[in-house]
Amino acid sequence: MAIAIAEAEAAGMRGEVPVGAVVVKAGEVLSRAGNRVEERADPTAHAEILALRAAAERLGEPRLEECDLWVTLEPCPMCAAAISFARIRRLYFGAYDAKGGGVDHGPRIFDHPTCHHRPEVVGGMEESRMAELLRAFFRERR
Amino acid sequence: MAIAIAEAEAAGMRGEVPVGAVVVKAGEVLSRAGNRVEERADPTAHAEILALRAAAERLGEPRLEECDLWVTLEPCPMCAAAISFARIRRLYFGAYDAKGGGVDHGPRIFDHPTCHHRPEVVGGMEESRMAELLRAFFRERR
């Protein structure tokens, strides 16, 4: 999770919402990414999407079997659905996101019978630190 | 929608689930794409995501103001959330997708209070033709 936090901090320095993500397989970091929506002018360039795509490219496979995703914030519905398509084994996330989250909030993507793959989910890791990272970012921008 | 159908058919010929999408702004086609999940080994490479990303790249803006998306099938939850982030004005889609859809089925992405932008939605266009395209594809693959 330290790598995900470093990616989140780097994203914040670039003026992006500070979120970072890492894909790990058998103890090896396959990919790491921070949010790049503004820089790339890409509405889908969330940290999770970029990390999933990079890991899939590396494996040459759209399905990331036996891979885990670490991310600093509860994934939004878009990223949660992508995590399911990518067959991520375990999702570890930091702060819960009542406003934008799609795992434990809003559409609760994994809870629908039409969701074909539900990862194991460990949420709320280092909650206070992660929440502070976001709060500090939005405080500065106001 | 004819362009979206052509993209769907081309995707089917490549062995991908036959879905096609087009982004239009003021009568001009900004981007067109078919599903390329297998070819690109990218779990996020649905037609809608590729079309949204290409349109955003062309406009140099992650938010596609005044743009409409035409797609042959009801978008999945990932694509529906991406459509919302991209601020698509109107979503026109073909066949309803009770198994994988995320607009009128499953997580119903646009119906949550945490969904910040809800496009106008016109669903079920040329329903029988679109459904037949998919049925033919899965029939052949069995």
Q: Please tell me the distance from the alpha carbon of residue A106 to that of residue A76, in angstroms, as a whole number.
A: 9
Q: What is the mean pLDDT of chain B?
A: 95
Q: What is the mean pLDDT of residues B131-138?
A: 86
Q: Considering only alpha carbons, which residue of chain A is nearest residue B110?
A: A107
Q: What is the dihedral of CA A65, B7, B82, A20, to 10 degrees?
A: 40
- Residue B54 near residue B33 (C-beta atoms within 8 A): yes
pLDDT attached to residue B72: 96
The SS3 of residue B32 is strand
Residue contact A41–B61, C-beta within 8 A: yes
Residue contact B114–A108, C-beta within 8 A: no
Q: What is the mean pLDDT of residues B105-119?
A: 96
Q: Which tens digits make up the pLDDT trace of B44-102?
A: 999 999 999 999 999 999 999 999 999 999 999 999 999 999 999 999 999 999 999 99
Q: Where on the phi/psi map is residue B87: left (φ > 0), alpha (ψ -120 to 50), or beta?
A: left
Q: What are phi and psi of A65, to 5 degrees?
A: -60, 140
In a domain, A141, yes or no: no
Domain hosting residue B50, numbered range: 1-136
Mutate to test the interface with A, among B35, B48, B78 (most CBs of A within 10 A): B78
pLDDT attached to residue A132: 86
> Nearest Cα to B8, choosing from B41, B36, B39, B40?
B36
In a domain, A122, yes or no: yes
pLDDT over 80 at B142, yes or no: no
What ipTM was predicted for this assembly?
Answer: 0.93
pLDDT attached to residue A134: 86
In a domain, B70, yes or no: yes
Q: What are phi and psi of B104, to 5 degrees?
A: -100, 0
Confidence label for B111 from pLDDT (cuts 50, 70 and 90): very high
In a domain, B37, yes or no: yes
pLDDT over 90 at B136, yes or no: no
Q: What is the mean pLDDT of residues B127-138?
A: 85
User: Rounded to a whole number, what is the distance in Å from the CA of A113 to chain B's nearest CA?
Assistant: 8
A116 known member of a binding site: no
In a domain, B94, yes or no: yes
User: Rounded to a whole number, what is the distance in Å from the CA of B43 to chain A's nearest CA?
Assistant: 5
User: Rounded to a whole number, what is the distance in Å from the CA of B129 to chain A's nearest CA?
Assistant: 24
In a domain, A142, yes or no: no
pTM score of the predicted model:
0.95
Q: Which tens digits make up the pLDDT trace of B31-55?
A: 999 999 999 999 999 999 999 999 9
- Residue B121 near residue B103 (C-beta atoms within 8 A): yes
Residue ranges with strand state E in B46-136: 67-73, 90-95, 120-122
B46 known member of a binding site: yes
User: Around B106, how many Cα atoms within 13 Å sit in the side-chain half-sphere?
Assistant: 28
> What's the token pair of residue A125?
């890791």
> What's the token pair of residue B126?
């040329």
Q: Please tell me the distance from the alpha carbon of residue A97 to that of residue A103, in angstroms, as a whole number.
A: 9
**β partners of residue A70:** A22, A92
In a domain, B142, yes or no: no
Residue contact A114–B99, C-beta within 8 A: yes
Between B40, B62, B100, which is nearest A114 by CB? B100
A115 known member of a binding site: no
Residue A14, domain CATH: 3.40.140.10
B39 is catalytic: no
pLDDT attached to residue B104: 97
Residue contact A107–B105, C-beta within 8 A: no
Between B63, B106, B112, which is nearest A106 by CB? B112
User: Rounded to a whole number, what is the distance in Å from the CA of A9 to chain B's nearest CA?
Assistant: 21
pLDDT attached to residue B126: 83
Total domain count for chain B? Answer: 1
> Pick the catalytic residue: A9, A16, A39, A48?
A48
pLDDT attached to residue B135: 87
- Residue B19 near residue B35 (C-beta atoms within 8 A): yes
The SS3 of residue A35 is coil
- Residue A126 near residue A114 (C-beta atoms within 8 A): no
Q: Which tens digits make up the pLDDT trace of B7-23?
A: 999 999 999 999 999 99
pLDDT tens for each residue of chain A, 142 residues long: 999 999 999 999 999 999 999 999 999 999 999 999 999 999 999 999 999 999 999 999 999 999 999 999 999 999 999 999 999 999 999 999 999 999 999 999 999 999 999 999 999 988 888 888 888 888 887 6
